[in-house]
Structure 1
Amino acid sequence: MNNIEMIKEKAASAEVLARKVWLAGLGAYGKGFEEAKSRFETLSTDSNKMFADLVVKGEKLETEGKSKFTEAKTKLVAKTDLDHRVEAVRAKLGLDSSDTDAKIEELSAKIDALTAAVAKLAK
């Protein structure tokens, strides 16, 4: 083999090697891109699932909160109605607390008047 053929063979070999290096680089880039794309899709899917789960949890808590609020409101209304009824009965029986002091003073005045009348009669 002469020098020219040897040079051509070495150049062809170098060209093949350079092409393989180029293709290996492209392959590495492609593999990296696919991995990044796969991870992004996984993250995107996971975040969408997490968001949907949070929405479901929020709806459940909202329903429970509304239910507890309605229950508390119903109890409060019932207690208020009962308090009004008790006040009405106390007023009808003359046990209204605002009238008690006035009635005690009125009775004290009557007792004082009776005591004075008995004292006059006793003289």
Structure 2
Amino acid sequence: MTKLDSIKGKVNEAEEFARKIWLAGLGAYGKSFDEAQGRYEKISVDASKMFDELVVKGSKIETEAKDKFQVKDKVETRVAEVRKKLGLGNTSDDQKVEELSAKIDALTDAVAKLAAK
């Protein structure tokens, strides 16, 4: 083996070693990319799953709230109907007192007339 062959061999070895370093760097980049992509996909799946769970929970709460409001509206409507039947409508207290006073005055007059006979 000549000196020139020895130098060529060393250059080839250096080139091969540089190529291996380059390939190791590419491999590290590829591995990092794959891991990052795997994490992204897992996060994406987890986020999508959580979103779907939140939608289901929100739908359930909405339904429960609507049911409660409907019951409350029905109760309020029923109370208003009973108040109206009892004569406790929307008239003010002063107006009610005046109406009752007028009825008492009319009854007093009627009793006085009957007593006078």
Report how far residue 41 of structure 1 moved: 0.4
Decide which structure has the larger Cα Rg and report it. Answer: 1
Q: Provide structure 1 residue ranges, at least 5 long, that are not aligned to the other structure.
A: 89-95, 118-123
Runs of 4+, deviation exceeding 6 Å: none
User: Aligned pair 1:53/2:53, yes or no?
Assistant: yes
Count residues with an aligned counterpart: 105
Q: 2:93 matched to which residue of 1?
A: none
Identity of aligned residues (%): 43
Q: 1:18 matched to which residue of 2?
A: 18
Report how far residue 104 of structure 1 moved: 3.8
Q: 1:92 matched to which residue of 2?
A: none
Report how far residue 64 of structure 1 moved: 0.4
SS of corresponding position for 1:87? coil
Distance in 2 (CA, whole Å) between partners of 1:19 and 1:11 is: 12
- Map 1:58-69 to 2 at 5 A: 58-69=58-69
Q: Which has the higher contact order (CA 8 A, sep 6+)?
A: 2
Distance in 1 (CA, whole Å) between partners of 2:56 and 2:36 is: 30
Q: Provide structure 2 residue ranges, at least 5 long, that are not aligned to the other structure.
A: 89-95
Distance in 1 (CA, whole Å) between partners of 2:75 and 2:103 is: 35
